[in-house]
Chains A and B, each alone.
Chain A
């Protein structure tokens, strides 16, 4: 693949003459004189008149003719002289690869146009992804083209950071590591700090490195790690194990602070499996029931049937109480613990006794099909006891299985060791393979301080970041789309990471760097990965298997049949720990609960604009994180959303803004990690607050006893949904209409009344009339009738669809300032509503994806003065960007408010955080066009128009995909015999062969797209489903996008229906 890097980091690539290379004055003079021809004549006064005449005429032609003043961008076209093999111009290619995050790979399929990867999808064959992805993978393609990525090696020379080159590094490294490999050194003084990785190649190289340099040390650190889970499983099984859940078999699920549906390495699989248990499509309408105990809302909590806000420190007690009821023989030994064990009731941790009893009954009566899941923030004893309960309930082998992780390291211990070595002066050379420990290492280790005392530190990183700036060498890392590597998925499936594009900035992979360090025979990434591959199994024909694996993208792992057994011996201590370490129901100060962020994860995606602008699924915050605080705590502190507070814990303090979040435990605040980064790029600059300084080795999950004080200052947060306090008229108005907009019922109600979704007594919706002011466009004789069905019951609200849409449809980000003004451009959004009147404990959360409804009777079309939005032959409501003059009337008349307007030319702007009075940064017009623009353009989908300023846009149902599918289908049809043609006069596009970007990304399979005109299509079937309803149907818009009503499965008779509405509440009839 050709490199697209036109500008090597240093030196001139080609020169026309030796004079140019030397840049001599003679050459400059020559350049100056060379052109324009006749320029010298202008100085001759005799010619001046002639000159003025010509200039006058040009001005008249250019200026007055108007056509002349249109400035087209300059472009260079470089066609191929010979077509590369296997390439058809204009046709995209798909490559399978893997993206590793936190040591777990997800299988991907990347679409590439002309050598440019533009879109990431899940690999449909891959066992964990099954074609779906999360938002982070969807957005990763933008990370590839990030103009702020590091382009140069940096080194320290004479106390100054200067740019360097790979050649210089290789030369230096050859000597340096040779010196370390000396017979007497044997690697003493060398330490390697790696990210968590499951790459067999890295492990192989690690083995080779340690064989060559036996005294070197290898450390691993990720801020979001599985230390507790590993410690728990080691405690009860004797060795570290990874837990696998089979949600599809679980009827009763108890989540103890686990966000298994969202921020979990296997969330995509979990979402798919969990959604399968919620469809209630069998005659008995069976559904799983999910109980969640957590301090602040997670997406899993938002999808719970019963959610209990408990402090993070109380989650263990909930588990202890469950164990007490189910496994009474497990008693703690110490007296304090015993006393607590005897006396504590669920009410002490804020859980209603009645609900708790019913949960125990549920668990007890669903042996083998229940599941207790512990979150990774929870301490080891919680994980250990969870395993014991699952075993007790007979879930081992049914809903829970395990795989061993022989190489697993405890990350906190590992980095603590490293820092101790650094402090002792035992580390001379530190190699950091990715990661960003200066930013995200536990605060009490003072990593930055100790790093400064290491003589030689090498940091391989995508960005010239916090750690790079404090290291003696910064090496640009290749993005995974530029890399050869391998990695294992959550279930152990081996995935090969293959490059889709040559490194844009000449970055290298950790594998290549390790090869350099260990002076490996091989230096090419591909060769190393292939060598590892060959060693992984007994292949009859390695070459064939390799090619096949590259093509498929993965090599299935053989499942480990043996399941571990709980060792009773260690268990007692863990039970003791749970009761012993509990701070009691009341403790001083606030609990700080650290959480990875839904957008930037641990901070590594902080410079990704799509993710920064992707609203948090629950807080709807963009471009920032905040201190998520319950309304009661906020009231007590006298603060509200946007007020700054100081968080102090053990002498460390951080200032941050508050965001009031219903459902948060009153004594616990949630702090999303990964923000507050500085000087790594335009996007990450000043986004949010860095909470790592509060996170210490003993408080990686929770920190108790923090003090929060208002500072009096305020900070502007940009949320895509405004809060309306529940007691205002707006809040009441919203609650009043929710049952009609977001239709839901309990399972019991569904059993009693299967057609509840269209029962006006149930939903409070108005009775529908079908009268139109105008003759309706019936779209009769249309070849296709595209439609979409969104299953609210399956949707978890993860927002992967939003990023998928953004990537597919060239949707720009607008910046925080513009989000504050409500100008975000997402074509599909996920609406979030809190239900109920108690802000401390909402009855439920409603999450509803809203794309364009493609109304057959579209209100937008009728009001456009220039007919820029009309129906096409298939009945789609389409926007004609060329015709749009931007009156914005269509948006005013759109009841779903799905239309988006380009207030500025957002693609040409750097996103502005604080637009200030002028809305544009001062250098908006004056800044010369840098090469950042072509770089960003490389991501564009060539099949989708890039919209300019002043034009309305909206969801198109991915019309470019529809067109492509039509062309394929019609071409195939033309090749049929006459008889076959007669059989299929409609030219059917096979159901499932065409889908939209949002539907393709959805891990829950909640979005289904297809042809309503094809009676056998799944979308046609779903439209006829009894739970199917049209949002705002009373407006007679006849939407093509319909919803399947949500079902919840609370304990019958315990909690009232989510719709406590009397039948004659409304006068709609």
Chain B
């Protein structure tokens, strides 16, 4: 035990790096993680953060009411830029919602055990991000009261949605993704909910956690069924990780607009989504592990691994940016080539170069181990990547629409204060949900973490040598 280094970021291939640090027993793990939920009072920072988030959620609500009462003209959308902030935000949040399921499902199938420390919270982040994402296209339509016409409901007029429209594909893709992600998250949480139920000190907690624990008793049969279900859901969720953002990219790729009509969009969007998703996990995990003293579980090695993924996906995104230029030049199309040259050097060049700097240049710092291990560097980098990825969607949507085929229709899009407040409000909603999650649900998969503790190893002494 004494030889167990507090640093698990070494690169010695002969030694297995521990996934959990510290001197925890199984019982202290439970104690620590459940303690977050069971403390009578949350840390002061939580209250402050929650108050701010709730305030912005309130603003979002007021903005939506204002929007419904007045009309979608309260946004900056115009002719030719008929889609503005709402759709940018939609794609941004969907992208954020990518990392969770990727970490949970794909890394699970690949038996990447380090995922256990962060998967719960990444999944929660996914759910909340998808909620934010789903909100935007719903309120985006001009006549929100007939939004249900996009749903294929059998009706007396035999009117169906138009299945050729990528928006309908979107509806199904995002809907499926949300459902599966939610189930995956919830199923994975059942043993831990049962733990919380068993430790409940008040009647209310016992009842509420009891309901959601679905009568979990921890029997072998339960574990058996649970493991099967989890594996199946992981298998189901994996293709969705790739499909959902591919389909979102079809919203653009299927149209014939220069700058949208490109075949590389699906992989490019998926890479970008994973990139932004991981950045958001970082942005949330770094303060959370600090706040609740979970550094032993979310170790520096975890963060370093994520930084590596950010570096890889960031470079993939950079490659996509270059390829877009190549294909538009190679197409020989006047409109295509103008579209891209204009992106980089036209009226929206500022947005383009923010995007390139944040998404391609910033992650390059993670080639350096010191940077990968510096909390401040990675925190700032993750914020910049979030910013850059938001701008990527801005660049794709706005620059392509603002200057398309006929120069007479060209315009310059400027968001309104409603746009800005709604974006801020969506962060408020996201953080509100996330803070509630931190307070009331186990933020680390207790049962899974125990399985990867050095202690759980049959040859504990060897492992820790």
A contact residues vs B (CB 8 Å cutoff): 721-722, 724, 728-730, 733-734, 736-738, 740-741, 764, 766, 774, 818, 821-824, 829, 831-833, 848, 850, 859, 862-867, 883-889, 891-893, 895-897, 899-905, 917, 919-920, 925, 949-952, 1032, 1035, 1066-1068
Complex contact B255–A897 (CB within 8 A): no
Alpha-carbon separation in the docked complex, A889 to B82 (Å): 8
Q: Which residues of B contact A883 (CB under 8 A)?
A: 149, 159
Across the interface, name the chain A residue whose C-beta is closest to B170: A865
Q: How far apart sit A1038 and B412, CA to CA, in the bound complex (Å)? A: 29
Q: How far is the CA of A990 from the CA of B416 in the complex (A)?
A: 52
B141 within 8 A of A: yes
**A730 engages B150 (CB within 8 Å):** no
CB-CB under 8 A for A887 and B345, given A833-B408, A864-B165: no
**Nearest-CB distance from B418 to chain A (Å)?**
8
Most buried by B among A774, A824, A1067: A1067
Which of B74, B150, B256 has the most C-beta atoms of chain A within 10 angstroms of its own C-beta?
B256
Closest to A824 in B: B79
CB <8 Å contact, A722 and B412: yes
Is B71 interfacial (CB 8 A cutoff)?
Answer: yes
Query: Nearest Cβ in chain A — how far from B135, in angstroms?
Result: 15
Considering the complex, which residues of chain B in the window 237-261 have a beta carbon less than 8 Å from any beta carbon of chain A?
251, 254-257
User: Which residues of A are found within 8 Å of B81, using beta-carbon distances?
Assistant: 822
Q: Is B256's CB under 8 angstroms from A885's CB? A: no
Q: Chain A: which residue is nearest B171 at the CB level?
A: A865
Q: A740-B334, A863-B255, A903-B73 are in contact. Are A951 and B143 (CB under 8 A)?
A: yes
In the complex, what's the smallest C-beta–C-beta distance from A821 to chain B, in angstroms?
5
CA gap between A848 and B404 in the complex, in Å: 17
Known contacts A865-B161, A865-B162, A901-B142, A733 near B338 by CB under 8 Å? yes
B147 touches A (CB below 8 Å): yes
Cα of A897 to Cα of B256 in the assembled complex, Å: 13
Inside 8 A of B71's CB, which chain A residues have their CB? 902-905, 949-950
A822, A920, A925: which contacts B80 (Cβ < 8 A)?
Answer: A822
* B288 in the interface (beta carbon within 8 A): no
CB pair A892 B83 closer than 8 Å: yes
Contact, CB under 8 Å: A865 / B142: no
With A895-B257, A1066-B334 already in contact, 15 other A-B pairs whose C-beta atoms are closer than 8 Å: A729-B345, A733-B403, A822-B81, A850-B408, A859-B255, A867-B160, A867-B161, A883-B149, A885-B141, A885-B146, A885-B150, A888-B83, A891-B82, A903-B72, A950-B71
What is the predominant secondary structure among interface residues of chain B facing chain A?
loop
Contacting pair B406 A730 (CB below 8 A): no
Among A721, A764, A903, which residue has its beta carbon within 8 angstroms of that of B77?
A903
B residues near A889, Cβ cutoff 8 Å = 82-83, 165, 167, 251, 255
Roughly how many angstroms separate A897 CA and B407 CA in the complex, as a whole number?
A: 10
**Chain A positions within 8 Å of B301 at CB level:** none
Q: Is the CB of B165 within 8 A of A865?
A: yes
The tally of residues in B whose CB lies under 8 Å from a CB in A reads 62
Q: Which residue of B lies closest to A870 (CB)?
A: B162
A901 touches B79 (CB 8 A): yes
Known: A733-B342, A893-B257, A897-B80. A886 touches B141 (CB 8 A): yes
Q: Which residue of A lies closest to B397 (CB)?
A: A892
A892 touches B255 (CB 8 A): yes
- Type the 1/0 row for B159-189, where 1 means its CB is closer than 8 Å to any CB of A: 1111011111001000000000000000000
Q: Determine whether the beta carbon of B141 is less than 8 Å from that of A737.
A: no
Chain B residues 266 to 303 lying within 8 A of chain A, measured CB to CB, are none
Question: Can you list 8 A-B pairs, Cβ within 8 angstroms, ordered by A?
Answer: A737-B405, A863-B164, A863-B165, A864-B165, A865-B165, A889-B251, A895-B257, A1066-B332
Determine how close the nearest CB of chain B comes to the CB of A160; give it in whole angstroms.
41
State whether the Cβ of B14 lies closer than 8 Å to any Cβ in chain A: no
B interface list, Cβ under 8 A from A: 69-74, 76-83, 137, 140-144, 146-147, 149-150, 159-162, 164-168, 171, 251, 254-257, 332-335, 338, 341-342, 345-347, 401, 403-412, 416-417
B427 to A: closest C-beta gap in Å: 21
Name, among B71, B166, B254, B346, the residue most crowded by chain A CB atoms within 10 Å (CB to CB). B71
B80 partner residues in chain A, CB cutoff 8 A: 822, 891-892, 897
In the complex, which of the residues B141, B251, B334, B403 has the most CB atoms of chain A within 10 Å of its own CB atom?
B334
Distance (Å) between the CB of A738 and the closest chain B CB?
8
Residue of B whose beta carbon sits closest to that of A733: B338
A821's nearest neighbour on chain B, judged by CB, is B78
CA distance A736 to B77 in the complex (A): 28
Which residues of the other chain, B, contact A823 by a CB distance below 8 angstroms?
A: 73, 78-79
Residues from chain B with Cβ under 8 Å of A730 in the complex: 342, 346-347, 403, 407, 410
User: B255 contacts which chain A residues (CB < 8 A)?
Assistant: 859, 863, 889, 892-893
Q: A724 contacts which of B143, B161, B251, B410 (Cβ < 8 Å)? A: B410
The distance in angstroms between the C-alpha atoms of A867 and B342, with both chains bound, is: 33
Pairwise interchain contact A722-B411, C-beta atoms closer than 8 A: yes
Which residues of chain A come closer than 8 Å to B168, judged between CB atoms?
865
Contact between B171 and A895, CB atoms less than 8 A apart: no
Contact of A864 among B70, B162, B256, B338 (CB under 8 A): B162
By a CB distance below 8 angstroms, the chain A residues around B335 are 737
Contact B164 A774 (CB under 8 A): yes
Question: Which A residues touch B147, using CB under 8 A?
Answer: 885
A384 to B46, CA, bound (A): 89
List, in ascending order, chain A residues with CB within 8 A of B251's CB. Answer: 889
Closest Cβ of chain B to A892, distance in Å, is: 5
Q: Which residues of A contact B162 (CB under 8 A)?
A: 862, 864-867
Rounded to whole Å, the gap between the CB of A946 and the closest CB of chain B is: 15
Nearest 8 pairs of A and B residues by beta carbon = A886-B142, A950-B142, A903-B73, A831-B408, A1067-B332, A734-B407, A897-B409, A888-B82
Q: Tell me the smallest distance from the CB of B69 to a CB of chain A, in Å.
A: 8
Q: Smallest distance from the beta carbon of A850 to chain B beta carbons, Å?
A: 7
Q: How far is the CB of A372 from chain B (nearest CB, A)?
A: 34
Residue in chain B with minimal CB distance to A1031: B406
A211 → chain B, closest Cβ, in Å?
59
Cβ-defined contact, B70 with A904, below 8 A? yes
Question: B66's closest neighbor in chain A, by CB?
Answer: A918
User: In the complex, what residues of A have CB within 8 A of residue B164's CB?
Assistant: 774, 862-863
Task: Write out the residue numbers on chain A whose beta carbons fall within 8 Å of the beta carbon of B82.
Answer: 888-889, 891-892, 901
- Tell which of A774, A823, A859, A892 has the most Cβ of chain B within 10 Å: A892
Cβ-defined contact, B410 with A865, below 8 A: no
B409 / chain A contacts, CB cutoff of 8 Å: 896-897
A948: nearest residue on chain B (CB-CB)?
A: B143
Chain B, Cβ-Cβ closest to A892: B82
Decide: A833 near B407, CB < 8 A? Known: A729-B346, A866-B161, A887-B167. Answer: yes
The answer to whether residues A897 and B72 also contact, given A862-B165, A863-B255, A865-B161 and a CB cut-off of 8 A, is no
Residue of B nearest to A1068 (CB): B332
Query: A886 touches which one: B72, B161, B416 (CB < 8 A)?
Result: B72
Q: Is the CB of B417 within 8 A of A917?
A: yes
Q: How many Å from the CB of A379 to the closest CB on chain B?
A: 38
Most buried by A among B82, B338, B404: B82
- On chain B, the residues within 8 Å of A900 by CB distance are 79
Contact A897 B79 (CB under 8 A): yes
Most buried by A among B140, B257, B409: B409
- CB < 8 Å: which of A737, A896, A949 contacts B142? A949
> Are A886 and B165 CB-contacts (below 8 A) given A832-B408, A1067-B332?
no
A859 to B255 Cα, complex, angstroms: 8
A557, B137: Cα distance in complex, Å: 65
Alpha-carbon distance between A569 and B213 when the two chains are bound, in angstroms: 113
Q: Of A733, A925, A950, which is within 8 A of B143 by CB?
A: A950
Chain A neighbourhood of B70, CB < 8 A: 904, 919-920
Q: A884-B143, A887-B167 are in contact. Are A721 and B408 (CB under 8 A)?
A: yes
Distance from B459 Cβ to chain A, minimum over Cβ atoms (Å): 58
Q: Are A724 and B142 in contact (CB under 8 A)?
A: no
Residues of A within 8 A of B341 (CB): 729, 733
Shortest B420–chain A CB gap in Å is: 11
Closest residue of chain B to A728, judged by CB? B346
Query: Complex Cα distance A737/B337, Å?
Result: 12
